[in-house]
Amino acid sequence: MFRSLALVVTTIAAVTALAGLPAQADSPPDIDINRTEKHQAIDGFGYSTAFQRASLVHNLPEDKREEVLELLLDRKTGAAPSILRLGIGSSASNEYDLMLSIQPADPGGPTAPPNYSWDGWDGGQVWFAKQAQERGIDRFYADAWSAPGYMKDNGSDSNGGSLCGMQDVSCDSGDWREAYARYLVQYTKFYAAEGIRIDELGFTNEPDWTASYASMRFTPAQAAEFMKVIGPIADDAGVNVACCDSFGWQHSEAYARAIASDSEARKYLDVFTGHGYASPSDHPLPTTATTWMTEWAPSSVADGWNEAWDSGKVTDGIRIAERIHDTLALADSSAFIFWLGSSRGGTAALIQVDDANNAYRVSSRLYAFAAYSRFIRPGAVRIGVDNAREGLKVSAYRNAGGAEVVQIINTTNEAVGTTIDMKDPTAYLTDSSHNLEKVSGIVSKRDRYTTVTLAPRSLTTLVTDRPGNG
């Protein structure tokens, strides 16, 4: 149901009275920013283009393609990602929903000369990455779901299985550990030849989960073991190593401890990664490495394609905003990477692409994502904030240039009046009737602090170029 912001704003006095805002200039604000309290640095926000999802965008007619590219990539009007996650292929097939390997066939064993091949397309990811570069996006994280089947004990890149040569894994074909590490680094070299630098390289995706599609198992001990194999090879190539993309955030703890307890493995870990499916990203992980949440999306099985901001479904935009807040403010993650930017059918991606009919649709999830990614830029730092109001989720950030960003999610069904110590912030509203829109009248001066009127069930983004107390 659409709400009238004008009505909300015109009733600010009544809301303020009901909210019990401080009546004296010396009273502290409800939302008090602690600018000396520094938490994690922010590396950025992103999504994945794996499993040929980028090709769907390319398949659209030129005019529609450009519109979708602007929505997915533009810094000011679109999702504004600063990181893209690429999928490293392991399949011998180039069919949709598979990722083609750069070495589909066994070259003759792990010590045989490699027989790599490169099509310069990579399921549309090369083209999409170049489109991203044109729009100023220059950080790329490449991750493998599996090794090719001939390198594994089950002979398939699907249905789990383990890399031959790892501890407790026996294969007649021999030890493929070093060959797999060099295979992954070669992938980054192919991208470098295309003018695309891959910054982070991951050798496993959900190593604790067996899927019917590309998947491969690593125990925590095996992940630490392989870190010592790929680490020196990646170092020589100038590529950072990321691990371990566990299926759930809590499950990631065992992998973090295994690597932390092995000094050589820890030496080669640049970014520790985890997913948010089996357990949410809502607490810090036991590692001193930079932490990224590298994949999560709500299940669309029950919801289908859902564009709503707040319909009570798990795929609602407000639910994505809350998950981003928790990942940054509770888990101390330096990055939030959503699962897919675009996909077909009943997807929870940001955009639904109907390439068969040359059409697309946009979900409110895109604007929930963009509220954070447009304004909290790489190099920002999360700063302290004390929130005295129940029902609000609040986090605060200072960008490298000094500008401050405060994100406020009003989880209640009522308009809320509150005060904050910011100087003349610009307010952007995201709710059932506003898609990250600059709205006047939301903020006003009250004594030495700023008063903010928060619409029910909304995300309000406050941005100021003038840091300091209000």
Reading the block at residue 441, the tokens are 């009248």
Starting at the edge strand found earlier in the chain, the sheet holding 342-343 runs 342-343, 351-354, 359-362
Contacts of 68 (CB under 8 A, 6+ apart): 57, 60, 342, 351, 353, 360
pLDDT of residue 446: 66
Size of the chain in residues: 470
Provide, rounded to the nearest whole percent, the portion of the chain with pLDDT above 70.
93
pLDDT of residue 338: 98
Mean model confidence pLDDT for the chain: 94
Model confidence at 454: pLDDT above 70: yes
Map 25-58 to HEC letters: CCCCCCEEEEEEEEEEECCEEEEECCCCHHHHHH
Question: What are the residue ranges spanned by the domains of the chain?
Answer: 5-40+382-464, 43-375
pLDDT of residue 5: 43
- Residue that is written with structure tokens 């570069």 in the block: 133
**Residue 14: pLDDT band by 50, 70, 90 thresholds?**
very low
Cis ω for the linkage preceding 171 (within 30 of 0): no
For 81-131, what is each residue's pLDDT tens digit?
999 999 999 999 999 999 999 999 999 999 999 999 999 999 999 999 999
CATH number of 43-375: 3.20.20.80
Displacement of CA 154 from its chain's centroid (Å): 31
- Residue 299 forms beta bridges with which residues? none
pLDDT of residue 26: 64
Model confidence at 413: pLDDT above 90: yes
pLDDT of residue 448: 82
- CA angle, 105 then 110 then 116, to 5°: 40
Q: Are strands 458-464 and 426-431 parallel, antiparallel or unpaired?
A: antiparallel
Q: CA end-to-end span of the chain, whole Å? A: 35
Better-predicted residue by pLDDT, 28 or 141: 141
Give the DSSP letter of residue 122: G
Is 171 strand, coil or helix? coil
**Residue 193: pLDDT band by 50, 70, 90 thresholds?**
very high
Mean pLDDT of 347-376: 97
pLDDT of residue 468: 53
Rounded to an integer, what distance in angstroms lies between the CA atom of residue 208 and that of residue 402?
A: 41
Model confidence at 284: pLDDT above 70: yes
Of 31, 35, 37, 25, the residue nearest 421 (C-alpha): 31
**Residue 447: pLDDT band by 50, 70, 90 thresholds?**
confident
**Residue 467: pLDDT band by 50, 70, 90 thresholds?**
low
Q: Are strands 140-144 and 83-88 parallel, antiparallel or unpaired?
A: parallel
Model confidence at 466: pLDDT above 80: no
pLDDT of residue 470: 42
**Residue 258: pLDDT band by 50, 70, 90 thresholds?**
very high
CATH number of 5-40+382-464: 2.60.40.1180
Displacement of CA 344 from its chain's centroid (Å): 20
For 25-78, what is each residue's pLDDT tens digit?
568 899 999 999 999 999 999 999 999 999 999 999 999 999 999 999 999 999
Rounded to an integer, what distance in angstroms lies between the CA atom of residue 176 and that of residue 238?
A: 22
User: pTM above the 0.75 mark?
Assistant: yes
Rounded to an integer, what distance in angstroms lies between the CA atom of residue 276 and that of residue 292?
A: 11
